Structure 1
Amino acid sequence: MKRAPVLIEKHGNVTLLRLASENPLNPLTDELVDALGDALGRIDADDAVHATVITGSEKAFAAGADIVAMSALDYAEAFRRDYVGRNWDRIRAHRKPLIAAVQGYALGGGCELAMMCDIVIAADDATFGQPEVKLGIVPGAGGTQRLPRAAGKSLAMQMCLSGASISAQQALACGLASRVVARERLVAEALDMAGSIARHSLPVLMAIKEAVGRSFESSLSDGLLFERRLFQAGFALRDQKEGMAAFLQKRTPEFLNK
């Protein structure tokens, strides 16, 4: 029996999604990306889940797109099918915190998928790259847009124009990753971080994610106004009352996610 391309594990109010293609390099086929989008859609609708970790195999987080499928496309079909838009946009639209736990290769679409997550934790053997130029194509899932925002223009240009990869330590130094850990501790560290996030109020977590995301897509003045309105709206939450009361009473808050 063919196994599911995405394996789902529940860890309290955290979900672990493991990319599990039969190919250990985890090529991002339509089937895998559809399954990932479906899983994230269910998580978005599940109030019991506050944060999600996405990881891959021991060999690769994801080593790129499905080259076999892409090689058969022409422009008309790619445009008509909205290739790398139709199902990838479902991942981008996910509203809850996402942590990428990257081990091995994160190349092309794999690097782009990691950058779609809110936090990237890298194993010490992780490799990040946008090698599409070697195939005669432009990155198609955010490589030319998210990478400059994460790593700066010069390094993004170097990676996209040469196709050269960078190490986990380089990713940490440039801001592409927030932490580098030993590979045997990767998933445990990511789950620990997700757990520390997931104990907080879900509507507040979602609002913070939305506000930080807005900072990349608006002017500073518009972003500050958006943030201020979310801050002010937060005073309508029961969790705001509980959080501040718990602080004043020197106890742990018991959030109701309302």
Structure 2
Amino acid sequence: MRAETVYQELTDDYRREVRVEELVFEAAEAYPGLLPTREQIAGERAKKQADKAGLELEQGAFLSQLLASPRAGTHLVHAMLRPRREALDRLEAFRSSGRADLGLATVERIGNAGHVNLRNPRFLNAEDDGATAALELGVDLVLLDPACEVGVLRGSVVDHPRHAGRRVFNAGLNLTHLYHGQISFVNFMIARELGLVAKIHRGHWLGDDWEGGLEDFEEKPWLAAVESFAIGGGCQLLLVMDRVIAEEGAYFNLPARKEGIIPGNANQRLWRYVGDRVARQAILFERAFKTGEPEAAQLCDRVVARDAMDTAIAEDAAQLTSAGLVSAVANRRAMRIGQEPVDQFRRYMAVYARDQSRCLYAPALIANLEQNWRAHERRP
């Protein structure tokens, strides 16, 4: 059965929104044998990545076909831009206190800015299923709170001996979890792009029109504060920011080749900042960008001393909305539509869903993790 037909029936002819994490299991239940069940995927999660049967490949093929459909794919993209129920449940408390503890992330309103802090210190603020879900909830709260006019993404202080007492922006994908089978294809690889990253890039879809093409989203400008480094997924996040501040000595990179995966949407975004040739060097040949280098200036707007970051954040957050939030949002939306309209994003995600699932089950992935990360020696 065609993925588009399945989706149309499961969504009551596009009148119902279903997040991708639940969609694959609803499809498995409604059409036995079409996709792996919730129980089958749970059983796979108990295994190391190398020992899995590859059931997620079926999910990748299904979602690829679905996203390739202009109508069904566009509806799913919009459905993933709805605020999560957990965020709506926490909103009143956050608006009252200005703080929210989400476990692997925290949110704090400081002035007119909502600060979302990644807090996964054991893994140097790497992202995994839980951390990404927590970050998305934090982004939801900032977008929903009218007192927050600007979003700020930052890493919390870590306790790793090499970086003890320092903030780390984002160490990218938790490769230890990946090796031990704890990274979900749907919940992480797909939901991160359609949820967390897309909400920073586009905002919330709160209306009813998902076919008009006007991108009528409720969005806010976002600022990233990069301390120490932005590796992999951390670097990917910089590509959807309106402003990037980095401390002196910070660096950014996309070590996708060493990991054996696709670096999210970086393949369609990085070249717009640094050019096609340098983007290929970064993605295929592990080129890093360090503050002070010419190419790094294309990814980072401002470099400050370590002790000047708080002041810089406050200054730039104020500047982003100094002429009013309406014009700030209108300008970021206009630039985004010119660069990456929803339909382009949907088509990219269709290919990404298929190819990323294949990457996750390629024998080279495990060899890469053992050789380059020594993942077999690390505890999940």
Alignment TM-score > 0.5, same fold: yes
Match 1:87 to one of 195, 203, 214: 195
Cα–Cα, structure 1 residues 133 and 91, in superposed 2: closer, same or farther, change >3 Å?
same
Matched-pair contact (CA < 8 Å) for 1:102–1:126: yes
Aligned partners of 1:18, 1:193: CA distance in 2, in Å? 17
Q: How many residues align?
A: 215
Task: Return the offset for 1:65.
Answer: 0.8
Aligned partners of 1:101 and 1:120 also within 8 Å = yes
Structure 1 residue corresponding to 2:124, chosen from 17, 20, 25: 25
Equivalent pair of 1:108/1:143 in contact (CA under 8 Å): no
Q: 1:159: Cα distance to partner?
A: 1.1
**Residue 239 of structure 2: SS of its match in structure 1?**
helix
Deviation for aligned residue 1:157: 1.1
Shift of 1:72: 4.9
CA contact (8 A) 1:108 1:131 kept: yes
Aligned mates of 2:193, 2:305 — CA distance in 1: 34
Aligned pair in 2 of structure 1 residues 52, 80: CA closer, same or farther (>3 Å)?
Answer: closer
- Against the structure 1 CA distance between its residues 172 and 17, is the aligned structure 2 distance closer, same or farther, given a 3 Å change threshold? farther
Corresponding residue for 2:175?
Answer: 67
Q: Offset at 1:173? A: 5.1
Which segment drifts farther, 63-72 or 187-196?
63-72
- What stretches of structure 2 of length at least 5 have no aligned partner? 1-100, 157-165, 204-218, 342-380
- Structure 1 Cα separation of the partners of residues 115 and 187 of structure 2: 33
Q: How does 1:35-74 map to 2 (within 5 A)?
A: 35-57=134-156, 58-72=166-180
Alignment of 1:199-214 (within 5 A): 199-214=322-337
- Aligned equivalent of 2:255: 131
Structure 1 CA distance for aligned equivalents of residues 119 and 232 of structure 2: 18
Corresponding residue to 2:115 among 4, 10, 16: 16
Tell me, yes or no, if the aligned pair for 2:290 and 2:296 is still in contact at 8 Å.
Answer: no
CA displacement at 1:68 relative to structure 2: 2.9
Q: Confirm or deny that 1:102 pairs with 2:226.
A: yes
For 2:169 and 2:178, locate their aligned partners in 1 and report how far apart those are by CA, in whole Å: 20
Assess if the C-alpha contact under 8 Å between 2:106 and 2:138 holds in 1.
Answer: no
Question: How far is 1:79 from its partner?
Answer: 5.7
Q: CA deviation at 1:54?
A: 1.1
Q: Is the 8 A contact 2:169 2:228 kept in 1?
A: yes
How far apart in 1 are the matches of 2:286 and 2:194? 26
Q: Which range moved further: 89-98 or 142-151? A: 89-98
Q: How far does the alpha carbon of each residue in 1:39-97 deviate from its partner, in whole angstroms, 9 at most, with x for none?
A: 211222222211121111435210111223333559xx726973543533333332201
- TM-score (normalised: structure 1): 0.74
Do the aligned partners of 2:274 and 2:295 also contact (CA within 8 Å) in 1? no
1:234 is aligned to none
User: Which sections of structure 1, spanning at least 5 residues, go unmatched?
Assistant: 219-258
Residues of 1 paired with 2:269 and 2:117: CA distance? 23
Task: Answer whether contact 1:52 1:98 (CA < 8 A) is retained.
Answer: yes
Structure 1 counterpart of 2:256, which letter? Answer: E
Q: 1:182 to 1:67 in 2, by over 3 A?
A: same
- Bigger relative contact order, structure 1 or 2 (CA pairs below 8 A, ≥6 apart): 2
Contact 2:152–2:225, Cα closer than 8 Å, also in 1: yes
Please give the residue correspondences for 1:214-229 in structure 2 after superposition, counting only pairs within 5 Å.
214-217=337-340
CA distance in 2, matches of 1:207, 1:3: 30
Q: Partner of 2:245: helix, strand, or coil?
A: strand
Taking structure 1 as reference, are residues 17 and 67 closer, same or farther at Cα in structure 2, changes over 3 Å only?
same
Cα 1:24/1:56, change in 2 over 3 Å: farther
Please tell me whether the aligned partners of residues 55 and 100 of structure 1 are also in contact (alpha carbons under 8 angstroms): yes
More strand by share: 1
Cα distance between partner residues in 2 of 1:80 and 1:101: 26
Q: From 307, 311, 319, give the equivalent of 1:184.
A: 307
Change (3 A) 1:145 1:182: same
Q: Given that residues 102 and 138 in structure 2 are in contact (C-alpha distance below 8 angstroms), is that contact kept between their aligned partners in structure 1?
A: no
Give the Cα separation in 1 of the matches to 2:192 and 2:117. Answer: 20
- Over aligned residues, Cα RMSD in angstroms? 2.6
The structure that has the greater radius of gyration is: 2
